[in-house]
């Protein structure tokens, strides 16, 4: 006998149907995505924080081994008594226990109190702010040109695999990529500065340039040509090979065959279908390029005496200036860590496989 309060389907007549208010709730897709992204972000941000702590830890101890006793560096130009050495050690906090020095270093770095340079007798933060624009100008310009040139040539090289263009571009790119930066810079200086006399060699400005904006801008651009040429020539081949490989992976795909069957021209198939999909694997490379804008031109700056962070880092090695080396090492490493974190976050939005995992 069937109870009158129960339907034939076995559910209570008073129970609201699923999907109506008061019925069994199912987790919405938006809720699942938000929860999944929160955990994904927490996991990768935590990994980035651990990497940054390891960078701080290693920079504190490594440069203490490399740079030696800072009192010797401060007193190498004038002799001092043992009492004066101890007073200087106390002033720099070197007489305190190692754990306390490490804690002071961590606290100072996190609050941007980076200390004072032994070589320049100036706050390190001021030195970085003063030289950072020159580095961003050189590395940023070179990186934009390298990425654009590498992607453009890589796309056409992969699309025409085995052609004369492909073989010539791959050979040229690999030759430049394998060339030492300082050697290529010297060749560029000899050809364009010494023999042809077209471009200046050292520095960022000429002392005789008028102080107005346009004269200064033209002068800086004139000095910028050779460093950017060297930097771009060394870097662009990496993007060329990655983009070429991505295009080769897409060439045999069914969606390209379908696009051709619809009557699209070969250039349209490449531009509208192959290139957008081939760009996905290069996201990490592009963000790493953004991270290396701060530290990617150390050798180039040293060769051309460009007044940026790279030349400051080289000068601090030869001095050696331990506080500056520590600060720049942390800055260079943290910029790369942040760039990788941004790439991983972007992957969540552009790669559905990550959202489903």
- Give every CB contact of residue 280 below 8 A, 6+ residues apart in sequence: 246, 350, 351
Comparing 20-34, 69-83, 164-178, the range with the smallest average pLDDT is: 20-34
Which secondary-structure segment (H or E) carries 31? helix 29-67
pLDDT at 110 over 70: yes
Whether residue 165 is contained in a domain is answered as yes
pLDDT tens digits for range 16-39: 444 444 444 444 444 444 568 788
**What does the alpha-carbon distance between residue 112 and residue 105 come to, in Å, rounded to a whole number?**
10
- What average pLDDT score do residues 37-60 get? 88
Whether residue 21 is contained in a domain is answered as no
Give the pLDDT score at 128: 92
Give the pLDDT score at 21: 45
pLDDT at 337 over 80: yes
Residue pair 145/237 in contact (Cβ under 8 Å)? The answer is no
pLDDT tens digits for range 258-281: 877 887 787 788 878 788 777 777
Residue pair 166/154 in contact (Cβ under 8 Å)? The answer is no
Q: What CATH number should be reported for the domain holding residue 156? A: 1.10.3720.10
Whether residue 301 is contained in a domain is answered as yes
Whether residue 125 is contained in a domain is answered as no
Whether residue 93 is contained in a domain is answered as no
pTM score: 0.76
Residue appearing with tokens 């720099």: 92
pLDDT tens digits for range 124-167: 999 999 999 999 999 999 989 998 999 899 988 888 888 899 89
5-9, 34-38, 334-338, 350-354: range with highest mean pLDDT = 334-338
pLDDT at 248 over 80: yes
Residue pair 202/301 in contact (Cβ under 8 Å)? The answer is no
User: Could you tell me the residue range of the domain that residue 290 belongs to?
Assistant: 130-356
Structural domain count of the chain:
1
Whether residue 280 is contained in a domain is answered as yes
Whether residue 150 is contained in a domain is answered as yes
Whether residue 41 is contained in a domain is answered as no
């Amino acid at each position: 006998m069937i109870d009158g309060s129960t339907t034939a389907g076995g559910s209570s007549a008073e129970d609201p149907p699923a999907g109506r208010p008061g019925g069994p709730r199912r987790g919405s897709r938006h809720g699942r995505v938000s929860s999944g992204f929160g955990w994904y972000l927490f996991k990768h941000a935590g990994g980035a924080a651990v990497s940054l702590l390891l960078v701080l830890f290693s920079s504190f101890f490594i440069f203490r081994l490399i740079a030696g006793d800072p009192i010797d560096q401060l007193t190498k130009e004038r002799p001092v008594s043992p009492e004066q050495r101890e007073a200087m050690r106390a002033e720099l906090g070197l007489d305190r226990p190692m754990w306390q020095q490490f804690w002071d270093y961590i606290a100072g770095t996190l609050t941007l109190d980076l200390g004072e340079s032994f070589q320049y007798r100036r706050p390190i933060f001021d030195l970085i702010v003063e030289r950072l624009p020159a580095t961003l100008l050189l590395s940023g310009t070179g990186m934009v040109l390298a990425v654009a040139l590498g992607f453009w040539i890589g796309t056409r090289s992969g699309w025409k695999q085995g052609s004369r263009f492909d073989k010539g571009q791959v050979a040229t790119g690999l030759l430049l990529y394998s060339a030492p930066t300082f050697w290529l810079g010297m060749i560029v200086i000899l050809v364009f500065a010494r023999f042809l006399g077209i471009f200046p060699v050292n520095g960022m400005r000429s002392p005789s340039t008028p102080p107005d904006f346009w004269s200064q801008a033209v002068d800086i651009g004139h000095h910028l040509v050779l460093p950017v040429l060297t930097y771009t020539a060394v870097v662009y081949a990496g993007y060329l090979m990655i983009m070429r490989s991505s295009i080769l992976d897409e060439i045999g795909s069914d969606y390209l065959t379908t696009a051709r069957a619809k009557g699209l021209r070969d250039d349209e198939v490449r531009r509208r279908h192959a290139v957008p999909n081939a760009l996905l694997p290069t996201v990490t490379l592009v963000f790493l390029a953004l991270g290396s804008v701060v530290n990617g031109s150390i050798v180039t700056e040293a060769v051309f005496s460009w007044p940026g962070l790279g030349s400051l880092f080289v000068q601090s090695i030869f001095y050696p200036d331990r506080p500056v080396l520590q600060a720049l090492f942390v800055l260079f490493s943290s910029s790369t860590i942040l760039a990788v974190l941004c790439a991983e976050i972007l992957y969540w939005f552009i790669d559905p496989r990550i959202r489903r995992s």
